[in-house]
Structure 1
Amino acid sequence: MKHDENADIQLLWPTPMLRKKFKQHELINSKLAELFYQHMREDNQQSTPVYASSDDLLMRYNNDALNQLFSFISESVFQVASTLNGDVWKHCVSKKMNMNVVGAWFQIQNGYGFHETHNHGNCSWSGVYYVQVDDDETRMKNKELGELNGVTRFYGHHMDLIGGGYMDSGNHYMQSTSFDSKPEEGVLCIFPSHLKHTALPYIGEKDRIIISFNAQIHGEQGDELYDYSFT
């Protein structure tokens, strides 16, 4: 990818991320929240600032709202994966790619609950879908958390390198080490699974409810780029 203002500068290895809103979110989000609250009540766990279900959500429930959402999620994952891999997939032995959600779970967060920095293994793409959260005006009223209240923060790959690295005016651009995905009902955010991220503390009038998932994409004949003859 070339720099917009100087074609001689190559911007190498960008980090792709897809953020888009599900047009039907107003029809399904309340149904999803109802399902998740019922699940939490039946689980009989002690109340905590963060409740997380097991990752077998799609195996546990045959729910119309859930099915509609994951149809949108599947299309979106394939959209970003095919855009980035299209030129490479031309050389694959397989001519058809299959996308599988290998894990899906929900979290309910409030009372300054947060999720430590982590990434996701055994998958190529992961995502977060915001089911329920305070609107921006209400969410940012909290004096302690402000606009960071409940955001999902993603960390750049170079973050671990600059802590002990030399900094001067020549590499100030590296000071930008994170991206904040603000929580907004109906928004889906898809990212490479290896990307470190965290759910910052949240407190609100509404609980912050999200769905997370992991996805794999495989060719119908395997993931080899070339057949044995290398042609």
Structure 2
Amino acid sequence: MNNESIVLEEINVWTTPLFVTQMPDHDFLKDALLNAVYQQKASQTTAIQSLIAPKAKHALHESTLDFLELADANVMEAKRALEELVLEIAKSVNYGFWPDEIETDAHIIESWYHVTQKGGYHDAHSHPNCSWCGIYYLEPGDANIEGNGGLNRFYDPRVNAEHYADLGTAYLGGHGVWDFVPTEGQIIIFPSYLKHSALPYFGDKDRVVIAFNCIVEAY
């Protein structure tokens, strides 16, 4: 058999795109956003102020789901920048699927902070009722130091990808998870169906993130 006559076309289907970037103007926004987070945290009457899945969360504080709606210029700027990023991503991945000349906007419909202390974690979950989700690492604390945890773990959405393993499946990874090591000012944006968790954190500094859910609409 003459292998030179074989033409193979690779078709990638059902891929899961994730996007990582740096928050525009993070150095300018950081202190003001941290102040807003800690002001709200000081007024919380319970650790999980959202009251959503409190048993899935340990040693962390979570706001209600409207943090980026605060009437604060820096918070409003952060929201605007995050919505612009999601819109650029949506335009890119949907190229060829949207009608020509369509006008679209991205809207953050839910947003909250997590202030995680030593031993804190968030069990695996996904976010319904939105198309894109994001995590802005305002202050990852000691999460990027070996052994301190605090990573975000993303789970393979291909539910049967691990039902059999041999040399032919080595490209699948074989472990079903991808761990993201955050650094200050980073943003990771991912589709809402993707299950993820925050692994136990053992650093001494607070780990502070702003998370959000976003929809994309035509106007």
TM-score (norm 1): 0.81
Could you tell me which residue of structure 2 aligns to residue 216 of structure 1? Answer: 215
Q: Offset at 1:172?
A: 2.1
Is 1:22 the counterpart of 2:23? The answer is yes
Q: Offset at 1:29?
A: 1.1
Report the Cα distance in structure 1 between the residues aligned to 2:109 and 2:193, rounded to whole angstroms.
15
Residue 96 of structure 2: SS of its match in structure 1?
Answer: helix
Could you tell me which residue of structure 2 aligns to residue 31 of structure 1? Answer: 32
Report the Cα distance in structure 2 between the residues aligned to 1:125 and 1:186, rounded to whole angstroms.
19
Report the Cα distance in structure 2 between the residues aligned to 1:26 and 1:68, rounded to whole angstroms.
13
Structure 2 counterpart of 1:62, from 68, 71, 84: 71
Q: Taking structure 1 as reference, are residues 23 and 217 closer, same or farther at Cα in structure 2, changes over 3 Å only?
A: closer
Q: Indicate the larger mover: 95-104 or 110-119.
A: 95-104
Structure 2 counterpart of 1:110, from 114, 117, 131: 117
Report the Cα distance in structure 2 between the residues aligned to 1:8 and 1:30, rounded to whole angstroms.
50
Report the Cα distance in structure 1 between the residues aligned to 2:9 and 2:95, rounded to whole angstroms.
25
Residue 200 of structure 2: SS of its match in structure 1?
Answer: strand
Q: Taking structure 1 as reference, are residues 51 and 22 closer, same or farther at Cα in structure 2, changes over 3 Å only?
A: same
Contact map agreement 1:116 1:198 (CA 8 A) in 2: yes
Q: Taking structure 1 as reference, are residues 191 and 12 closer, same or farther at Cα in structure 2, changes over 3 Å only?
A: same
Report the Cα distance in structure 2 between the residues aligned to 1:182 and 1:69, rounded to whole angstroms.
22
Report the Cα distance in structure 2 between the residues aligned to 1:135 and 1:184, rounded to whole angstroms.
9
The letter of the residue matching 2:9 is D
Q: Offset at 1:98?
A: 2.1
**Identity %, equivalent residues:** 29
Could you tell me which residue of structure 2 aligns to residue 73 of structure 1? Answer: 82
Structure whose residues are more often helix by fraction: 1
Alignment of 1:65-144 (within 5 A): 65-90=74-99, 95-134=102-141, 139-141=144-146
Residue 110 of structure 1: SS of its match in structure 2?
Answer: strand
Report the Cα distance in structure 1 between the residues aligned to 2:73 and 2:170, rounded to whole angstroms.
49
Contact map agreement 1:117 1:197 (CA 8 A) in 2: yes
List structure 1 runs of 4+ shifted beyond 6 angstroms: none
Could you tell me which residue of structure 2 aligns to residue 171 of structure 1? Answer: 169
Could you tell me which residue of structure 2 aligns to residue 53 of structure 1? Answer: 63
Structure 1 unaligned blocks of 5 or more:
1-5, 221-231
Indicate the structure whose relative CO is greater, using CA pairs within 8 Å and at least 6 residues apart: 1
Structure 2 unaligned blocks of 5 or more:
1-6, 49-57
Q: Offset at 1:46?
A: 5.8
Deviation readout 1:132-185 (Å, 9 max, x if unpaired): 12356xx425xxx35xx1111111112x3245x222221122215222221211
CA RMSD of aligned residues (A): 2.1
Report the Cα distance in structure 2 between the residues aligned to 1:166 and 1:181, rounded to whole angstroms.
26
Report the Cα distance in structure 2 between the residues aligned to 1:64 and 1:205, rounded to whole angstroms.
30
Could you tell me which residue of structure 2 aligns to residue 156 of structure 1? Answer: 156
Q: Taking structure 1 as reference, are residues 46 and 53 closer, same or farther at Cα in structure 2, changes over 3 Å only?
A: closer
The letter of the residue matching 2:170 is H
Q: Offset at 1:209?
A: 0.4
Residue 36 of structure 1: SS of its match in structure 2?
Answer: helix
